[in-house]
């Protein structure tokens, strides 16, 4: 490591604070006199996106504040400490752009590789440096000098470039996998809609649409449905609805082996979140009959307008967690309906609309839906054998998505470990440099 020099991030890049502006300076249309304004929400995962950007007049942006290709945008102030310091490399900006006052642009010096610099902003050493600066502070705010003070070992530029290339290759794999996941999620969404409106015929194929084969469908209060299907109130398909209680508990998760009571945030359409609970310190408040079991179908009785009536099936299970009075367990009649089929139906727009209408409460931040209203929700019900076929088809694509999500999680872990090794010089890329130099041009 003799070629590496002890220094600071400030020796590789310098920060420029973003643009202050007033709401009346925001522009509506792109023109030669406007500049794209990037904010904290445009910075994520080491990248900068240009979704939902704002425009400001160019005369309030100095030449120094105009972002250049290869600059790194950094969030310098945020309500959440965890988001302070997040960064993204600015690439491919066709229109002039800058960052807002709560962000800074860090511009690599001429002797620094821009991509290498951007990876320093994603490193564990950088995050630990910021955590020390922000510790004990009530204000989640960084100065450029705080960031530039990060102490590090600086390799020669050629080695910087090769390190960045290796990490870029891994980033490319992550991006491709995430794009595949997004595509599969869209496919699943469309497939689920078709399965829950058209179903699967006796040949195991998706039933033709009403336009293709109107004779296979009949009218119902919920629109056209296959002839063998019917609609029913959800309550007629259930054996019971079970609720828990919400004792007064400190808002900290229960340690392993201790009892906890679920928060409403534990129930999410993307999956059960066992860590969203409050520890039950008094044993007299524990009711074992309220314990959540693996495979339970849960629904929230009270939540925000978008999430009231949200549901999930408990797959990743932690013992000793109890239902609260705002989380309900739906227990189906297995002769009439499959639990997974109810869950899939509860996500559909026609059911979500019913939930929205039935939800009560004057607060715009919290709504409630009663057990009685849940029982009256109308859902479309195929024969039990067809429900099984539908659920198996959905489970197959869900398994594929889960597999890809596991892959991308592993890639992120690999990236974190590799960054730590390469950016500290613990693992050298010198052999690759020697090989490149020995290869004839």
Contact 260, 306 (CB under 8 A): no
- Interatomic CA distance for residues 109 and 229, integer angstroms: 68
* Mean of pLDDT values over 15-37: 93
Boundary (domain end) residue, out of 355, 381, 407: 381
Q: How confident is the model at residue 361 (pLDDT cuts 50, 70, 90)?
A: confident
Kindly report the number of other CB atoms within 10 A of residue 105's CB atom: 25
Looking at the domain assignment, is residue 176 inside a domain?
no
pLDDT at 291: 95
Which pLDDT score, from 0 to 100, does residue 10 have? 97
Residue 84 lies in a domain: yes
- Between 307 and 386, the more confident residue is 386
3-state class (DSSP) for residue 107? strand
- Do both 48 and 137 map to the same domain? yes
Q: Which residue has the higher pLDDT, 138 or 230?
A: 230
> Are 130 and 241 part of one and the same domain?
no
User: CA-to-CA distance for 234 and 230, rounded, in angstroms?
Assistant: 12
Domain containing 377 — which CATH number?
3.90.220.20
Does 98 reside within a domain? yes
Does residue 2 carry a pLDDT above 90?
Answer: no
Cβ–Cβ under 8 Å, residues 262 and 290: no
Mean pLDDT calculated for residue range 44-53: 90
Return the structure tokens found at 189: 């969404």
Q: What share of the chain is helix, strand, coil (3-state, %, to 5)?
A: 40, 20, 40
pLDDT for residue 45 is more than 90: no
Q: Which tokens is 390 given? A: 């539908």
What is the pairing mode between strands 103-108 and 72-75? antiparallel
For the chain, what percent of residues have pLDDT higher than 90? 80
Cβ pair 305, 362 in contact under 8 A: no
Q: Residue 335 contacts by C-beta under 8 Å, 6 or more apart in sequence? A: 384
Q: Which of 106-115, 276-285, 358-367 has the lowest mean pLDDT?
A: 358-367
Shared domain check, 237 and 122? no
Instruction: Give dist(CA 141, CA 138) in Å, integer.
Output: 9
**DSSP string of 14-36?**
EEEE-B---GGG-BSS--TTEEE
Is 306 a member of any domain? yes
Assign 1 a pLDDT band (cuts: 50, 70, 90): low
Please give the pLDDT value at position 320.
Answer: 93
Mean pLDDT throughout 206-212? 95
- The number of distinct structural domains making up the chain is 2
Instruction: Specify the DSSP element, H or E, that contains 100.
Output: none
Model confidence band, residue 241 (pLDDT cutoffs 50, 70, 90): very high
- State whether 110 and 234 are in the same domain: no
Q: Can you give the pLDDT at residue 62?
A: 96
Do 237 and 351 have their domain in common?
A: yes
- Residue 247's pLDDT band (cuts 50, 70, 90): confident
Range of the domain at 305: 230-246+261-275+291-381
- Residue 248 confidence (pLDDT) above 60: yes
Q: Within a domain: residue 211? A: no
In-domain check, residue 234: yes
Query: What span, in angstroms and rounded, lies between the C-alpha atoms of 397 and 392?
Result: 9
- 356 membership: H or E segment, kind and range: helix 349-358
Instruction: Give the other-Cβ count within 10 Å of 372's Cβ.
Output: 10
pLDDT tops 60 at residue 441: no
Same domain, 131 and 266: no
The CB-side HSE value for 157 (13 A sphere, CA atoms) comes to 9
pLDDT in tens, 379-389: 999 999 999 99
Are 35 and 137 in the same domain? yes
Stated length of the chain: 441
Q: In this predicted structure, what is the pLDDT of residue 206?
A: 95
Q: How confident is the model at residue 440 (pLDDT cuts 50, 70, 90)?
A: low
In order of 247, 264, 285, 312, 328, the CA distances from 322 in angstroms are 11, 12, 10, 15, 10
Residue 272: its pLDDT value, please?
Answer: 93
In a domain, 269, yes or no: yes
Tell me the two tokens of residue 354: 């019913």
Decide if pLDDT at 102 tops 80: yes
Tell me the average pLDDT of the chain. 92
Sequence-ordered list of residues with C-beta below 8 angstroms from that of 118, at least 6 positions apart, any chain: 46, 70, 72, 87, 89, 164
Given a cut of 80, is residue 430 above it in pLDDT?
no
As a whole number, mean pLDDT of residues 144-170 equals 95
Q: Which residues of 257-283 are buried (b: 16+ CB within 10 A; e: fewer)?
A: eebbbbbbebbbeeebebebbbebeee
Give the strand pairing for 297-300 and 225-226.
unpaired
Structure tokens at 373: 């209203």
The residue among 108, 131, 154 that closes a domain is 154
Residue with the larger pLDDT of the pair 143 and 363? 143
Same domain, yes or no, for 237 and 132?
no
pLDDT value, residue 92 = 78
Same domain, 9 and 149: yes
Q: What is the mean pLDDT of residues 276-294?
A: 92
241 shares a domain with 100: no
Q: Is residue 295 part of a domain?
A: yes
The pLDDT-based confidence of 270 (bands split at 50, 70, 90) is confident
Domain boundary among 154, 175, 200: 154
Same domain? For 145 and 269 the reply is no
CB 18 within 8 A of CB 104: yes
Residues in Cβ contact with 344 at an 8 Å cutoff, skipping those fewer than 6 apart: 192, 196, 390, 391, 394
Is there a single domain that holds both residue 49 and residue 141? yes
Predicted confidence (pLDDT) at residue 64 exceeds the cutoff of 90: yes
């Amino acid at each position: 490591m003799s070629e590496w020099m002890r220094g600071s991030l400030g020796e590789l890049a310098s920060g420029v604070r973003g643009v202050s502006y007033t709401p009346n300076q925001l522009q509506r249309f792109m023109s030669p006199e406007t500049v794209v304004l990037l904010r904290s929400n445009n910075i994520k995962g080491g990248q900068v996106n240009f979704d939902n950007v704002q425009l400001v007049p160019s005369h309030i942006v100095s030449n120094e504040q105009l972002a250049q290709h290869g600059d790194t945008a950094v969030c310098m102030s945020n309500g959440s400490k965890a988001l302070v310091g997040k960064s993204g490399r600015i690439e491919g900006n066709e229109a002039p752009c800058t960052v807002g006052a709560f962000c800074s642009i860090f511009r690599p010096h001429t002797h620094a590789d821009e991509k290498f610099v951007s990876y320093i902003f994603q490193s564990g050493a950088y995050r630990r440096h910021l955590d020390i600066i922000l510790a004990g502070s009530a204000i989640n705010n960084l100065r450029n000098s705080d960031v530039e003070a990060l102490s590090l070992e600086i390799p020669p530029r050629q080695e910087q470039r090769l390190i960045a290339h290796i990490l870029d290759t891994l980033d490319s794999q992550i991006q491709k996998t995430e794009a595949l996941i997004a595509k599969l999620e869209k496919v699943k969404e469309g497939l689920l809609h078709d399965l829950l409106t058209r179903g699967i015929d006796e040949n195991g194929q998706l039933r033709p649409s009403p336009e293709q084969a109107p004779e296979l469908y009949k009218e119902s209060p919920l629109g056209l449905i296959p002839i063998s299907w019917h609609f029913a109130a959800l309550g007629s398909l259930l054996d019971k609805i079970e609720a828990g209680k919400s004792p007064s508990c400190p808002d900290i998760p229960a340690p392993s082996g201790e009892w906890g009571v679920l928060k409403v945030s534990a129930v999410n359409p993307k999956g059960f979140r066992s860590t969203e609970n409050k520890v039950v310190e008094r044993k007299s408040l524990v009711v074992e009959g309220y314990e959540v079991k693996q495979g339970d179908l849960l629904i929230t009785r009270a939540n925000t307008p978008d999430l009231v009536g949200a549901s999930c099936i408990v797959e990743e299970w932690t013992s000793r967690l109890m239902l609260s009075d705002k989380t309900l367990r739906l227990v189906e009649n297995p002769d009439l309906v499959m639990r997974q089929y109810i869950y899939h139906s509860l996500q559909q727009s026609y059911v979500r609309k019913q939930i929205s209408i039935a939800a009560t409460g004057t607060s715009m931040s919290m709504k409630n839906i009663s057990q009685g209203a849940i029982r009256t929700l109308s859902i479309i019900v195929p024969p039990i054998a067809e429900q099984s076929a539908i659920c198996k088809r959905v489970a197959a694509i869900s398994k594929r998505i889960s597999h890809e999500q596991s892959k991308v999680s592993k890639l992120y872990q690999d990236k974190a470990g590799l960054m730590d090794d390469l950016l500290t010089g613990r693992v050298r890329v010198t052999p690759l440099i020697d090989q490149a130099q020995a290869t004839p041009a």
